[in-house]
Amino acid sequence: MKEFEKYGKVLLNEPLKKYTSFRIGGNAKAVLLPVDENALIDSIKLCKEKNMNYIVLGNCTNILVDDEGFDGLAIILKGVLDDIRVDRNILTAKSGATLRQVATIAMENSLGGLEFAHGIPGSVGGGAIMNAGAYDGELKDVVESVRLLDDELNIIELSNEEMQFSYRNSIAQDRGYIILSVKFKLFEKNIEEIKEKMNDFYNRRREKQPLEYPSAGSTFRRPTGYFAGRLIDDSGLRGLKHGGAQVSQKHCGFVINADNATAKDVRELIEIVQKTVYDKFNVELKREVKYIGGK
């Protein structure tokens, strides 16, 4: 792994649970914190040349890392590729910036449109890939364009329309593209109004979601015509424990790390929930959480 040191800080046999919001997962063979965008691209090229497993991660809020870890290089952008620039009503953020940071900078510049994103725990890159949303908005509502690496590591820029955003999806997710930065088109708005809206969303989130426990946010996608949490509750699964994992008492759409859960605990509980809901309501619950590592 020594050849990767020119691209940033390299940590060998690094526990990924230190980085994930679930606080679960084994070690990566190595973690790289790239110094800049060029280092990110060059490190990926080297991985491809060496035929080495790699994964690019942002805020690590929507993933479950296997107990056996990840046999390769985990490139983590959080805290490194996080520059944010504002030019009139255009805010441009690197993929490692958090959505909370972006929403806060927008507010400080009297720019509205990103209030909904303030409570979403993910990064700009992860948010754009999955068209993250909450309450009254989705990223597709405010994204002007996205700079990314295609599958041949060419830097391309796609417009909002070309990103083909849909519910928790985009062309970047379908094709495995890597987000470099996102340009948001916002609008002038009174700071106090923005702050009031963000506080309202924060209070609603705190009241309804189990923020006091490690989790990966909403565990399941919303099935068409239903709410995942309601289906799980109506299946009698509220508070169900499996090992250290639990269906949240506060919001049934969340599987939480209640007591030193393993990835195995969480995966098995997710499968129990999916099977029970399908057997009872004939509705398939699809995961929002992405599984990483293992065999």
The residues carrying an active-site annotation are 168, 218, 288
Q: How far apart are CA 280 and CA 268, in angstroms?
A: 18
DSSP code per residue over 115-162: GGGGG--SBHHHHHHTT-EETTEEGGGTEEEEEEE-TT--EEEEETTT
CB 96 within 8 Å of CB 123: yes
Burial grade of 159 (CB within 10 A; 0-12, 13-18, 19 or more): exposed
CB 70 within 8 Å of CB 55: yes
CB 211 within 8 Å of CB 205: yes
Q: Name which of 76, 77, 124, 65 is nearest 100 in CA terms.
A: 124
3-class DSSP state for residue 38?
helix
